[in-house]
Homo-oligomer: A and B are copies of this chain.
Amino acid sequence: MAVATDRKLEELSINSIRMLSIDGVQAANSGHPGLPLGAAAMGYVLWTEYLRHNPSNPAWFNRDRFVLSAGHGSMLLYSLLYLTGYDLPLEELKNFRKLGSKTPGHPEIHMTPGVEVTTGPLGAGFSNGVGMAIAEAFLAAHYNRPGHNVVDHRTYGIVSDGDIMEGISMEAAALAGHLALGKLIYLYDQNHMTLAGSANVSFSEDVGARFEALGWHTVALDGLDPDDVRRGLDEAIATSDKPSLLICRTVIGFGSPNKANTFGVHGSPLGPDEVKATKEAFDWPTEPAFYVPDPALEVFREAVPAGKRLEADWDSAFAAYEQEFPDLAAELKGAIAGKLPAGWDAGLPTWEVGSKIATRKAGEAVIGAFFEKIPTFIGGSADLDPSTNTGMKNAGDFENPNLPLTDKVQGALGGEWSYAGRNIHFGIREHAMGGAVNGMAAHGGVIPFSATFLVFSDYMRAPIRLAAISQYKSIFVFTHDSIAVGEDGPTHEPVEHVMSLRLIPDLTVIRPADGNETTAAWRHALEASGPTVLVLSRQDLPTLDTGSTKAGLDHGAYVLSEPDGEPDIVLLATGSEVQLAVAAASTLAGDGISARVVSFPSWEIFEEQDAAYKRSVLGSEETPRLSIEAGTTIGWERYADASVGVDRFGASGPGAKVMEQYGFTAENVVLQAKALLGEST
């Protein structure tokens, strides 16, 4: 085939992406045509020549991952998925942004075959890709053997000016640079235009220099020139010791005669007239919409047989690996399938009634008991291991093994510094930590967790929400869970946080009351299919007499202690306040008032129970209920008639004194219970 013909076909193929995208946006009369027009050449080169994927099996484990961090450019991705032969019919592109279509406004995992992660909130995808590259590096280091690279793929992404401006991307980029994630390659669609105007109204930095400072390899290129994109990708692939940013200069809305290089083309349809004018400018038939020339489709569809060959080759390679390393292969297969190894929960710790332990410390013991049995459990904290108690002793640190450091040891958790290390030091980068954990979960093969103080859940609320939308199996540990934090004062004392996390749909929040509930909480998190938030105390808590109800956490709430006969009042408490309910019930009993104590670690799990069970815990409608939780009272009206809670900010002082001042004493619970009962106090 002559080069001239190739060039023509190449242009036809690139323009197919463009025209499908503007037709999709126009049909929806909503969406973002600007990015697909500008980034089509990047998408074409990457998806037809570099991306190792199998359109027939989007779940093939060793595929290259592709993240469209600029999720608003979703029509680019949908066009590529359709063209390369994924199970996304043209009809779905015509239904772009319609209810019930497989082509929502922003890419959503589980909605569309081939969409790896849910993106749209800027920077989210950027951080997800870093998590995917971490997962790949870990699994490769852990499972590959000489001559057997069964885990070996790249993570690609298209990122935008908007992504680059977001702090989460900067955090994630710093982490990726530090970790020297050489198989991470981002194509930055540098069109210098954002929704509100020319990006230079707010954005005049030297992006390349900034990424270089963070340890990235950068290549500046012309994103409209396929050959230059190839040059960049080749260079990035050849650079194995650093992540790569290809700074691809493009023109937003490229080819639109009247709207190219305007901010108006970022987020609004071209309009019928400009669609027509654009097609004419590209020498494209103006009718029908969604037209793709057969020769172009053929080029893209080569991905189907190529993908099958790639997966078949991998299957053979895996079979050889399995032959030689049957145990490892079985372990990896289980991890890919998301199964916990048999016996993983043997020896989970229990605590004796009367002993005391902070639930963060209990959590440490729980992790210590299972982490060796679940070799793909990885994670860490935002620089708070000694406080969150989430380090895995001697499990190694997930680090660039080539880092030339003289003092690798201080503060590390023991074991090697390598990509096989399981303790991830995210740095003081909560937002990117959340995004990376989501990326690891989306990648699969690993069970990832993060940890920081509960008050800093505010820094990572966006990725927690995305974990819930996407049902990533991300485990978010938050310690220092109330005003009992004490001396650090109101900026470090959560008040509204537990409730505000409960407000997020499809997210399970668990606030265990003691060591044994903490064990049960971790079990729930590990066995769940979606995300879990674990809320743990800084301070010691007494081990409760859960008696025969120790499976109570599985129901979200359970009767911890029951008076003889019908209760006069039901006390609902969570976490560190359950002990107060127990003590108050005892005092009330002495005063002739019978109180049921309910431990209520998880609203979401409780809501899944049947009506009869709920009634058996909450009691009759007529029995007054008092909730006790060191957090906002808003929301507790769902279950309680009155609440002991915190509806103002905390204060700096010793934790026990702060708790006392804010009414968290058994005496005050008794008082409030009596007030609710209308008794003289």
Taking Cβ atoms with an 8 Å cutoff, the residues of A that contact B are 28, 30-31, 71, 97-101, 104-106, 108, 118-122, 161-162, 165-171, 174-175, 177-178, 194-198, 200-210, 212-215, 262-263, 267, 381, 383-387, 397, 399, 403, 405, 407, 410-412, 425-432, 455-456, 458-459, 461-462, 465-466, 468-469, 486-492, 495-496, 499-500, 502-506, 632, 634-635, 637-638, 647-649, 651-654, 657-658, 661
Contacts and interface: CB of A to CB of B under 8 A. Distances in A.
Q: Which 4 A-B pairs rank lowest in CB-CB distance, beginning with the nearest?
A: A197-B411, A167-B167, A99-B653, A202-B427
A627 to B, nearest CB: 12
Contact of A487 (B31, B385, B488): B31
Given A201-B412, A214-B205, A503-B500, A195 B653 contact: no
27 contacts: A97-B489, A97-B652, A106-B489, A108-B489, A165-B429, A167-B168, A167-B170, A170-B170, A195-B387, A196-B383, A196-B386, A197-B411, A197-B412, A198-B411, A201-B411, A201-B425, A202-B427, A204-B405, A213-B213, A263-B411, A431-B431, A458-B461, A459-B462, A496-B500, A496-B504, A499-B634, A503-B635
A105 B488 contact: yes
Given A167-B168, A201-B411, 11 more contacts: A97-B653, A98-B653, A98-B654, A106-B491, A167-B167, A167-B169, A194-B428, A197-B412, A200-B403, A202-B383, A465-B496
A432 B202 CA distance: 13
A467 B30 CA distance: 36
Contact of A28 (B97, B178, B487): B487
Determine which residue in A120, A383, A487, A635 has the highest number of CB atoms from chain B within 10 A of its CB, and name it. A383
A198 B213 CA distance: 20
Contact of A428 (B166, B263, B648): B166
A651 B215 CA distance: 39
Contact of A178 (B105, B204, B486): B204
Determine which residue in A97, A384, A427 has the highest number of CB atoms from chain B within 10 A of its CB, and name it. A427
A652 B105 contact: yes
A652 B104 contact: yes
Contacts of A399: 201
A499 B503 contact: yes
A637 to B, nearest CB: 4
B213 A100 contact: no
A491 B505 contact: no
A634 B175 CA distance: 37
Nearest to A385: B196
A505 B496 contact: yes
A98 B657 CA distance: 9
B196 A381 contact: yes
A617 B488 CA distance: 41
Contacts of A71: 491
A214 B170 CA distance: 12
Nearest to A503: B496
Contact of A648 (B100, B210, B432, B505): B505
Contacts of A425: 196-197, 201-202
Contacts of A489: 97, 104-106, 108, 120
Nearest to A172: B167
A487 B30 contact: yes
Nearest to A405: B200
A383 B496 contact: no
Contacts of A267: 387
A171 B166 contact: yes
